[in-house]
Amino acid sequence: MAESGYGGMRVLVTGGAGAIGVNLSARLLELGASVVVLDDFSSAYEWNLPNGVELVRGDVRDESALAEAFGKRPNRVFHLAAHFANQNSVDHPETSLDVNGMGTLRVLERCRQARVERVVFASSGCGVYGPECPLPFREEQVSLRLHTPYQLTKLLGELLGNYFHVHYGLPFVSARLFNVYGPGEVPGHYRNVIPNFFFRAIRGEALPITGTGEETRDWTFVRDAVDALLAMGTSEAAVGEAFNVASGTEVRVIDMAEDVNRITGNKAGIRHLPRRDWDAKTRLCASIGKARALLGYEPRVPFREGLEQVHAWFTGCWNSIRASTDLES
Ligand SMILES: NC(=O)c1ccc[n+]([C@@H]2O[C@H](COP(=O)([O-])OP(=O)(O)OC[C@H]3O[C@@H](n4cnc5c(N)ncnc54)[C@H](O)[C@@H]3O)[C@@H](O)[C@H]2O)c1
């Protein structure tokens, strides 16, 4: 996969202090890039940021913060900053639209002015595919029947980027990320289920499944997602395209929960809660044929091994995680 070519490159990662951003930034540094992170730390923690990044603390909607970040003259931009995710957007729809819509528009405009050589946008599999799309989801299907403001703002981000590509020739790529998990994601009220389950399991609490547990997800290990993002940042074939970034396999929520309890030795089991009203997709599974063919993408970390790595990270960072999370007991 085309992850070489970053040596000596200047890379801007918006949202680079977030769950995926810290992993992407760390890998870019390993590959010899200089990395600028633009993040307002609305859902991030400085202790989680890798050593060696140059930090611009600010909002992607704020022109002065953008001027400072783009003043570093990046030649690649990964736009990850976002108001995350579904429930948060149902509770705060205006912030969702503002950050993910206006913020993305302003980042794209700066990229155009700076003649950035590549912009990779963090879109979302749950954002563009509706329950009516046949499985496995393929890139040519897009749904207009979405269920949360977050989902439609992720589709909006793709549409804005495609407009900049078509109208201005901006080299833009969309990464349709599916349920990314791994070390680096601090649990929280609006965070993903895997870190939240580990947090509760380590504390000996029953894991709350919203639904029957028969629902499936296509969980993607963060380092595999980072490999795909890096390839999108260099591959010529990627320009103007959208790619599913996923494992290509379905895992039932109940099986994931039982794995988390087994790995942590949690005896408290599982409790069932009603399904969330916006949660209309009982199954999620992506086709990764396009990413394989055009990017050489291949997920490398099996699900249970990925979960073990999350557990190891929780164990190593427990005090910082506990001090940072807003998860109630
Ligand atoms: N994690 C997933 O499963 C997943 C799935 C699909 C898509 N995505 C997308 O990938 C990207 C990264 O996801 P993540 O899981 O790392 O989320 P995250 O919330 O951990 O990261 C987003 C980062 O953006 C920052 N941020 C938020 N608002 C900002 C603003 N106005 N200005 C500057 N920074 C701001 C946050 O502080 C955070 O560090 C997001 O765009 C998300 O929508 C993630």
The pLDDT score that the predictor gives to residue 275 is 83
181-218+249-279+302-322: same fold as 10-178+220-245? no
Question: 33-52 burial, b if ≥16 CB within 10 A, otherwise e?
Answer: bbbbbbbbeebbbeebbbee
**DSSP letters along 4-39, please?**
---TT-EEEEETTTSHHHHHHHHHHHHTT-EEEEEE
Task: Ligand 1, residue 192: give the atom nearest the CA.
Answer: 3
Tens of pLDDT along 47-99?
Answer: 999 999 999 999 999 999 999 999 999 999 999 999 999 999 999 999 999 99
Helices 104-113/63-70 angle, 10° precision: 40
Within 144-260, strands assigned E span 172-177, 180-181, 207-210, 216-217, 220-221, 242-245, 251-252
Measured in Å, residue 100 CA sits from the centre of ligand 1 at: 10
Q: What Å distances lie between residue 188 and 48, 147, 198, 239, 321, CA to CA?
A: 15, 22, 11, 35, 10
Residue 84 CB less than 6 A away from ligand 1: yes
Residue 70 CB less than 6 A away from ligand 1: no
The pLDDT score that the predictor gives to residue 20 is 98
Measured in Å, residue 227 CA sits from the centre of ligand 1 at: 17
Instruction: Record the tokens describing residue 42, joined without a space.
Output: 């609305």
Report, as ranges of residue numbers, the positions in the chain whose pLDDT lies below 50.
none
Task: Ligand 1, residue 59: give the atom nearest the CA.
Answer: 32
Q: Determine the 3-state secondary structure of 103 from DSSP.
A: helix
Contact of 232 with 238, CB cutoff 8 Å = yes
Measured in Å, residue 167 CA sits from the centre of ligand 1 at: 27
Overall fold of domain 10-178+220-245:
Rossmann fold (3.40.50)
The pLDDT score that the predictor gives to residue 178 is 98
User: Among 158, 18, 5, 10, which Cα is nearest to 70's?
Assistant: 10
The pLDDT score that the predictor gives to residue 1 is 57
Strand partners, 38: 14, 56
Measured in Å, residue 14 CA sits from the centre of ligand 1 at: 9
Tens of pLDDT along 145-173?
Answer: 999 999 999 999 999 999 999 999 999 99
Residue 42 CB less than 6 A away from ligand 1: yes
Measured in Å, residue 277 CA sits from the centre of ligand 1 at: 23
The pLDDT score that the predictor gives to residue 131 is 87
Ligand 1 pocket test: which of 20, 110, 128 has the largest number of ligand atoms within 8 Å of its C-beta? Answer: 20
Can you tell me the distance from the alpha carbon of 209 to that of 142, in angstroms, rounded to the nearest whole number? 28
Domain boundaries, the chain: 10-178+220-245, 181-218+249-279+302-322
The pTM of the whole model exceeds 0.85 = yes
Architecture of the 181-218+249-279+302-322 domain: Alpha-Beta Complex (3.90)
